[in-house]
A and B are shown apart, each in its own frame.
Chain A
């Protein structure tokens, strides 16, 4: 499917989406509330994107951006879905029920960035200690003992 066709298809599912074609793949920016229906449609609809291979979060100083990389085993095309969440109260819907791999990946984003995933079956820290305070991968994370600033 060409980029135009994908853009048309996604606009029909999420009208408020914006597109960015400067990178290698088509980047789609949606509102956090529109994320879950779009993901469910992408999984089961005509594009059959059954392979979620990367879930991450990027901290731009003004907001946090959730980035989902999707691909399909049938047509091997990849697209990137992004959603901006609020830095003070980052809340977004989980996609665990659509792709099981998101369970661990979202736990990691939760502990590193503090994004709350609603309806996640088991949202707690995965790699850090249970009593760790703060969200390490945020840009404003300060740790006077362990971080050495040059």
Chain B
């Protein structure tokens, strides 16, 4: 890594015009993960932010070139660990598309329910962490109360709480736990009764609103030009929900709204995610009682081989569009894999929206961009 003294010499001197250069991170309570930001300040105003990445680079793309098609799926759980089911689903969809595997309906329904539960869990953690960045310590515990229920459901069914290896090309690894439906319904009831707590404590709090309204404004053209996806772009008015535009699994059969706000500031990004949680609950409610009986996995060979060619599949994770691009030469391992991670493009917008504001605004903007650094560094 960097030579320690070189960092201190390099970035701790006063720049021109008496500007102060400050390092935030890599170990910092607010950058969620190991992100090193070099912030050039003039008094309290930020002039430039430069992210230094690579602290958790694990050369996943190179590594996957030596893993088989059944093995590489679970490496994506470790990338964006808060949306592990959705990432796995993206990889599985790619292999099914490439090998023309037909997934049974039961597996499709369950995969969608798991994806939506993961989305809610990810947004809950985001809510708690962002409120904590801004100084409100209590919403963190309230958000984790709901997230605990989801991780308990996951632990029963998938065997793990964070990096859940459950989705395989062709369906699921095992069938559902018998208590799954009961627990999910209990969760839905609890969530609906608690969502007013978040409204009272955070959304309608005047201090929170004045910290996030008008802060970190991103226009729609800039959002598209910077390649932002997910709630970041939807808060600026760009319609980009993959579940609506290129529906996969059973998303074309369920009714839900795509949440779009036009303000483009941190408060709009916050509102988009909170409303998305409500939409996810709506999707789960429509599906949980109607899971069809049948097989949970399609019959596939043990060793999978994608035919020669290129394939791309995309899913909507909690952060945005996650794309998997595979170039295959017909063997058992991919020739080249590229993971198009949503955080990478969302991070590039940070300098644009936070320059000219204050450090407090940087906290609000970074919190609402919802960055998970292992997703960016891969």
Interface residues, chain A, with chain B CB atoms under 8 Å away: 22-25, 27, 50-54, 56, 58-59, 67, 69, 73, 76, 80, 99-101, 103-105, 112, 126-130, 136-137, 150
Contacts and interface: CB of A to CB of B under 8 A. Distances in A.
B345 interface: yes
A51 B54 contact: no
B128 to A, nearest CB: 28
B321 interface: yes
A50 B312 contact: no
B61 A24 contact: no
Q: Tell me the dominant secondary structure on chain B's binding face.
A: mixed
11 contacts: A23-B311, A24-B97, A51-B224, A56-B325, A58-B336, A99-B227, A103-B348, A104-B345, A104-B348, A105-B227, A105-B344
B245 A76 contact: yes
A25 B2 CA distance: 42
B145 to A, nearest CB: 36
Contact of A127 (B54, B97, B310, B352): B54
Nearest to B245: A76
Contacts of B238: 73
A136 B63 CA distance: 11
Contact of A58 (B57, B335, B377): B335
Interface in B335-357: 335-336, 338, 340, 344-345, 347-348, 352
Nearest to A147: B62
Given A23-B311, A56-B325, A104-B345, A50 B224 contact: yes
Contacts of A67: 325
Interface extent on B, as a size class? 35 or more
B227 A101 contact: yes
Given A22-B309, A99-B227, A127-B57, A58 B327 contact: yes
Nearest to A102: B227
Contacts of A150: 66
B309 A50 contact: no
Given A58-B335, A73-B240, A126-B53, A53 B227 contact: yes
A55 to B, nearest CB: 9
A69 B312 CA distance: 10
B234 to A, nearest CB: 12
Given A23-B309, A59-B336, A73-B238, A137 B227 contact: no
A53 B239 CA distance: 15
Contacts of A137: 61-62, 336
Ranked nearest first, the 5 interchain pairs of A and B with the lowest CB-CB distance are A101-B227, A127-B54, A56-B338, A100-B225, A104-B348
B258 to A, nearest CB: 13
A104 B238 CA distance: 21
Contacts of A50: 224-225
Nearest to A56: B338
A103 B61 CA distance: 20
